[in-house]
Amino acid sequence: MTKSIKTFVVLLFVVFVNFTPACGGEESTAQLANPHCGEVNLPDASSDASTELPSGPVLDIECGSLGGNVAVAADNVQVFSCKLTARNESIKITKLAVTMRGHFIAADTRAVRMYRAGDGSPFVSGIMNGTNEAVMNWAANENLLPEAIQPENPVTIVLKADIGFAGQVILGSDFHFEIVSTEDVVAREVNNGALVKVNILSAVGGTYRIVPFQVVVTGDAPASGSSYTQAVLSGTQLGRFKITNFGSSLVFVTKATLADKGSHSGSMSYRLYYSDQNSSNYVANTAAVASDSMDFGDLSVQVPIDGGSYRYFTVAVYSSAASSGDSWQVAVPVGAVSYMTEEADLGYDGNGTGSLQGRIYGLSCDGSVTLGTIFKN
């Protein structure tokens, strides 16, 4: 009897061991104990193919730029950059083409230069010629860059431009740079010169607009990040910002598309005031009135600011049906304030008509502002 029991135990043990590694075909003890058994061999149809390891060398390219205003005749303005990442092998670049798109391109820039980030000297340069589009092609037998791109050590290249001179550029015209397709880049393995797959993750830079000089918006009160709880009624000042003309000639502020990042119930209307020039009499003059929005749009008065001078602009409550706990936060987004200038004041043709009788509208101020928050008590 004892012998029989021992044999039975041994047989059970053998059966269990035989079933443990089974992961396919018929259901097994191991599958019941571990329902994920064998899944490492099954493809996941929902996975992103880009996460798979490539079988050969790859050059990833990620381009962009912030965009914004650039002043007439400014030198060495950064307008485009690309991060280059080599995967699996050391890589060199033997061809690079960059496209500029916009208006009156031949006049917008005098020259462009490409640098490796941190270097003082460009590795290529050129002049963009064209009306609405221009392509700059650079090529080399060995490598355009000063050194090969090493795996796990990305390289950033930066394009800088000299902006056209006064009387040649069209004020308000815009442009951007991009790499149009993978055919614009030829990359090769350093060791054997074999072609490398090019993978463009992002290709287009921000849009730049040409202005005569800087006219800048800065915040004043309440300070950004601050908050106050107080009575809110007709005449309450909700936010104040400053516009400074850093140029040498007169401009006229013509438009203010402001925003309110607060939250209020009930109907409101607002008034936009402006100070006398270089003065702190904040609500001396009225520029516009808006109902239930701080988008004042075109101002009822074109507000002049001489070169080297400033004015304050204040948003105040005109009429209120606010409730306790309501809030207001005045914001001036990028490009929200526009100005006009006259060619006679500039002293040169800014719109390409050949005369000095024109006015240039739609030029945007630099800077953005988000002021502090006002809560109704």
Residue type, 38: G
Measured distance CA(186)–CA(92) in Å, rounded? 9
* C-alpha closest to that of 224 among 366, 332, 66: 332
What are the counts of helices (DSSP H) followed by strands (DSSP E) for the chain? 4, 27
For tokens 């061991």, name the residue: 17
What are the structural domains, with CATH classification, of the chain?
56-209 (2.60.40), 213-374 (2.60.40)
Mean pLDDT, contiguous 10-residue spans, the chain (377 residues): 39 35 33 31 34 71 96 97 97 98 88 97 94 94 97 96 95 96 97 96 97 98 98 97 98 98 92 98 97 95 98 97 94 97 97 94 97 97
pLDDT value, residue 119: 97
pLDDT value, residue 150: 98
CB 252 within 8 A of CB 277: no
pLDDT value, residue 291: 87
CB 193 within 8 A of CB 187: no
Adjacent-strand bridge partners of 295:
257
Measured distance CA(116)–CA(153) in Å, rounded? 13
pLDDT value, residue 103: 82
pLDDT value, residue 265: 87
Pairing of strands 215-221, 237-245: antiparallel
Alpha-carbon separation of residue 193 from 91, 96, 133, 142 (angstroms): 9, 16, 32, 9
pLDDT value, residue 55: 62
